[in-house]
Amino acid sequence: MTTKIEQLPRTTVSDALKAELIGKTVRVCGWVRTRRDSKGGFSFLELNDGSTIKNVQVLAEAKLPNYESEILKLGTGSSVEVVANVVESPGKGQATELKAESVRVFGYADPTTYPLQKKGTSFEFLRTIAHLRPRTNTFGAVARVRNEISRSIHNFFNSRGFIYVHSPIITASDCEGAGQMFRVTTLDLDQIPRKDNKEIDFEQDFFGRPTHLTVSGQLEGEIYATALTNVYTFGPTFRAENSNTSRHLAEFWMIEPEMAFCDLEGNMQVAEEFLKTIFNDVLTNCPADMEFFNERIDKTVIETLKSIVSSDFVRLSYTDAVETLKKSGETFEFPVEWGIDLQSEHERYLTEKTFKKPVIVYDYPKDIKAFYMKMNDDGKTVRAMDVLVPKVGEIIGGSQREERLEVLEERMKSCGLNPEEYWWYLDLRRYGTVPHAGFGLGLERTVQFVTGMANIRDVIPFPRAPKSADF
Ligand code: 4AD
Ligand code: MG
């Protein structure tokens, strides 16, 4: 009997909840969320295995041989294997429940020390137990939605013939030219080798030169786009900005498509279709998780995503955006003038108050944007675009790239960069240059927007932020 039962393949909780399994015997494994004992001599276990936000209810009767000795000791967090008959559930809200034939305990969780006892534990507290928080409803749902977004992204590009390129994590160039990079070194920090003029002797370092963690895979994306036409990267990026906000991480994931024979217009078009596809896929494929977020985290998320999927994004030049903000009569912490970098309060005003939908702002002043963006004929603005969404603000940053060699060299110099160090990047303009464009989507900001989670540290498994890299 036991051996036969052991041979049963494992059924997920998600499947065990389906009415079509009624009448079957299944083997389900998972963690106990709660145990309720009834006076009539039986207990209910709520079991979850992460396959769905829902729990399956297990009825364990007193006649089970280990009822007194083991089942009555099962607390929240214990792990079990249940072999059971799937029966129609007498309760509302679920189609099935499991009538246990046997319950095997893998491990107990001492209720006096297990930290996930009560509902409503704060997100701040859960950050201190990042090793256990995926066992909560919220973090399980975030993990599944994050997975669906990633799947949707790969699917979007693959269905359009984009090649996935793995850009390096260790790099010798600063893509954004912002200098906010983490150094990678094997030099002994207690005994840094120096040259005669006291400069650090990086020739003795592992790579024989200064290296850092990448802030973006774009430059490598451009290399491959100018050979394969349409490519994308999807990987971790690192920024040593000292920004302690709910929208910044020191380590975050970015998706960067790069397209040859494409201008800013085409870039904006792809960005809009891209976001709509992701939102639509999450609504279609994660209905239970999205209902949870809509109920517990933000009552507007589903409605917002649905309306975005079915309407056009606003397109607004930076100059018009500044005009709109100035005319709004709103008092901002950072006053609005042509030339300023838009702050999150401005971005949110445009998307939440003025237009109530995503806004693509384009043609930004050159002085607030990176060196690689294509110069407009006015000599003042570049072919940049940012996609702004309610609550999160900037979710995508991108541009048409400067494909004219001389213009790019000039621009690098005026940004304080040495064109010789970027000789390979300039070669792309020297040999068979083409108009091209691309953008970067922040994965965590996307998860934030989709789920309504207020803090970016709660949408990545192990957040890294200033003074915070636990786990
Ligand atoms: O606007 P950014 O800096 O653009 C680039 O890095 C370009 N190289 C992209 C490209 O054109 N290929 O960053 C792109 C996006 C932002 O819009 C934002 O969503 C996200 O990356 N991002 C961050 N997310 C979390 N924490 C941070 N510190 C982030 N910095 C940028
Ligand atoms: Mg940006």
b/e map 369-402, b = 16+ CB within 10 Å: bbbbbbbbeeeebbbbbbbbbbbbbbbbbbbbbb
Identical fold for domains 5-107 and 133-180+215-458, yes or no, is: no
pLDDT the model gives residue 3: 47
Ligand 1 close to Cβ of residue 222 (< 6 A) = no
- Superfamily for 133-180+215-458? Bira Bifunctional Protein; Domain 2 (3.30.930.10)
Superfamily per CATH, domain 5-107:
Nucleic acid-binding proteins (2.40.50.140)
Ligand 1 binding pocket includes 251 (Cβ within 6 Å): no
Q: Is residue 231 scored above 50 in pLDDT?
A: yes
Domain ranges of the chain: 5-107, 133-180+215-458
> Residue 161 Cα, ligand 2 centroid: separation in angstroms?
26
| pLDDT at residue number 40 | 83
For the segment 52-66, what is each residue's pLDDT rounded down to a tens digit? 999 999 999 999 999
> What is the C-alpha to C-alpha distance for residues 265 and 437, in angstroms, rounded to an integer?
9
57 in contact with ligand 1, CB cutoff 6 A: no
**Which of 146, 182, 213, 254 maximizes ligand 1 atoms within 8 Å of its Cβ, making it the mutation to test the pocket?**
254
pLDDT, one tens digit per residue, over 404-433 is: 999 999 999 999 999 999 999 999 999 999
Kindly tell me if the per-residue pLDDT of 2 is higher than 70.
Answer: no
Please name the residues in contact with 78: beta carbons below 8 A apart, sequence gap of 6 or more. 31, 32, 105, 106, 107, 108, 109
Using 50, 70 and 90 to split pLDDT, how confident is the model at 402?
Answer: very high
pLDDT of residue 1: 40
Tell me which residue has its CA closest to atom 1 in ligand 1: 397
- Tell me, yes or no, if the pTM score tops 0.75: yes
What gap in Å lies between CA 50 and CA 238, rounded to an integer?
29
Whose Cα sits closest to atom 31 in ligand 1? Answer: 442
Tell me which residue has tokens 């390979």. 424
CA 471, CA 131: separation in Å to the nearest integer? Answer: 7
Overall average pLDDT of the 115-133 stretch: 90
Distance CA 51, CA 31 (A): 12
